[in-house]
């Protein structure tokens, strides 16, 4: 297991947000974190990154504890994080955004840049375009690309499909299927169609607890679980976005 969370509890201010998050992420696979709005998915990723450090519990990267370390140290150990808000530098070009992420890296960063541009041909066409001039989907690709040019062992990606047009979601799914051959991915995703298209394992979080983890294709058959924790009617396979 490349990453393990054991009974992680996280407070934000006086609020107990995560109460018992326990799951394991196998190397070289996409693990999807599912759960309704407010369940604690983002806080789980932020806890792994040290942005909201756990107050109790253990987080292990390659068997070594990382909880309590500052975010930049966790990043340096090879954990990449693509937050929900498609963070790219608006005033810099696509090329500059990627080069900045590569700064101080070895020769293999150039190879990873080539890989990123192969995975996201949209970015290749727009290398000299300013980040601020990209569509939402292109910004998301750039944000993921910036994480990929670093030699990350694990990539945490928070709801990449949020607000994207269906064609962009399709491109993203295609890219994620290629990316998982290079790096282990932990994907928070409410779009169940995308989740099941790219994911191998799942973890369901509800009210700050992990309620189930397992193999994603088995979850697809479990209508009761889908309905109960995700509000999905499997007839259309897609979660409603209300709320
Ligand atoms: N900075 C914060 N201050 C107070 N409560 C927060 C903060 N961030 C998140 N929460 C609360 O923690 C819970 C989990 O949030 P979050 O991890 O963002 O859920 P998800 O990503 O699953 O939608 C929610 O009830 C949310 O309101
Ligand atoms: Mg969230």
Q: What is the pLDDT of residues 215-225, one digit of tens each?
A: 999 988 888 88
Query: Is the shortest distance between the CB of 242 and ligand 1 below 6 Å?
Result: no
pLDDT band at 234 (very low <50, low <70, confident <90, very high): low
Given a cut of 60, is residue 239 above it in pLDDT? Answer: no
Which ligand is nearest to the Cα of residue 13, counting in written order?
Answer: 1
Per residue in 60-91, pLDDT (tens digit) is 999 999 999 999 999 999 999 999 987 899 99
Query: Is the shortest distance between the CB of 12 and ligand 1 below 6 Å?
Result: yes
Which ligand is nearest to the Cα of residue 47, counting in written order?
Answer: 1
Span from the CA of 222 to the centroid of ligand 1 (angstroms): 27
**pLDDT, average across residues 174-199:** 91
Indicate which CATH number applies to the domain containing 132.
3.40.50.300
The residue whose CA is least distant from atom 9 of ligand 1 is 43
Structural domain contains residue 146: yes
- Please provide the average confidence, as pLDDT, over all residues in the chain: 91
Structural domain contains residue 241: no
d(CA 84, CA 136): 11
pLDDT band at 205 (very low <50, low <70, confident <90, very high): very high
Q: Provide the percentage of residues in the chain whose pLDDT is more than 70.
A: 94
Query: Is the shortest distance between the CB of 38 and ligand 1 below 6 Å?
Result: yes
- Taking CA atoms, 41 is separated from 35, 128, 146, 176, 209, in Å, by 7, 35, 22, 19, 10
Given a cut of 70, is residue 181 above it in pLDDT? Answer: yes
Given a cut of 70, is residue 235 above it in pLDDT? Answer: no
Structural domain contains residue 171: yes
pLDDT of residue 188: 96
pTM (2 d.p.): 0.92
Query: Is the shortest distance between the CB of 154 and ligand 1 below 6 Å?
Result: no
Given a cut of 90, is residue 209 above it in pLDDT? Answer: yes
Structural domain contains residue 71: yes
Q: Which domain holds residue 121?
A: 3-230
Structural domain contains residue 236: no
Contact 23, 202 (CB under 8 A): no
Structural domain contains residue 139: yes
The residue whose CA is least distant from atom 14 of ligand 1 is 40
Total tally of structural domains belonging to the chain:
1
pLDDT of residue 77: 94
Per residue in 131-178, pLDDT (tens digit) is 999 999 999 999 999 999 988 999 999 999 988 889 989 988 989 988
Query: Is the shortest distance between the CB of 208 and ligand 1 below 6 Å?
Result: no
* Atom nearest to 44 CA in ligand 1: 17
Structural domain contains residue 190: yes
Given a cut of 60, is residue 238 above it in pLDDT? Answer: no
The residue whose CA is least distant from atom 4 of ligand 1 is 12
Given a cut of 50, is residue 242 above it in pLDDT? Answer: no
Pairing of strands 184-188, 154-158: parallel
**pLDDT, average across residues 16-41:** 96
3-class SS shares of the chain: helix, strand, coil, % to 5: 35, 25, 35
pLDDT of residue 41: 97
Structural domain contains residue 217: yes
Residue 108, classed as helix, strand or coil, is helix
Query: Is the shortest distance between the CB of 53 and ligand 1 below 6 Å?
Result: no
Per residue in 115-128, pLDDT (tens digit) is 999 999 999 999 99
d(CA 77, CA 147): 13
């Amino acid at each position: 297991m490349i990453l393990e969370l054991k009974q992680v509890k996280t407070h934000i201010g006086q609020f107990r947000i995560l109460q018992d998050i326990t799951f394991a992420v196998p190397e070289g696979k996409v693990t999807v974190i599912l759960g309704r709005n407010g369940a604690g998915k983002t806080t789980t990723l932020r806890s792994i990154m040290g942005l909201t450090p756990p107050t109790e519990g253990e987080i292990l990267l390659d068997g070594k504890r990382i909880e309590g370390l500052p975010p930049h140290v966790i990043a340096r150990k090879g954990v990449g994080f693509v937050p929900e808000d498609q963070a790219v530098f608006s005033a810099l070009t696509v090329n500059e955004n990627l080069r900045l992420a590569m700064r101080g890296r070895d020769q293999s960063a150039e190879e990873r840049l080539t890989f990123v541009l192969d995975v996201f041909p949209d970015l290749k066409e727009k290398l000299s375009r300013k980040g601020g001039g990209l569509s939402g989907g292109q910004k998301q690709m750039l944000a993921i690309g910036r994480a990929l040019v670093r030699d990350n062992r694990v990539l945490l990606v928070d709801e990449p499909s949020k607000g994207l047009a269906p064609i962009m979601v399709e491109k993203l799914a295609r890219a994620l299927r290629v990316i998982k051959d290079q790096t282990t991915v932990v994907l928070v995703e409410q779009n169940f169609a995308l989740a099941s298209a790219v994911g191998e394992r799942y973890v369901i979080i509800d009210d700050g607890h992990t309620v189930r983890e397992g193999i994603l294709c088995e979850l697809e058959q479990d209508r009761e679980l889908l309905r109960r924790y995700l509000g999905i009617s499997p007839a259309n396979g897609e979660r409603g976005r209300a709320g």
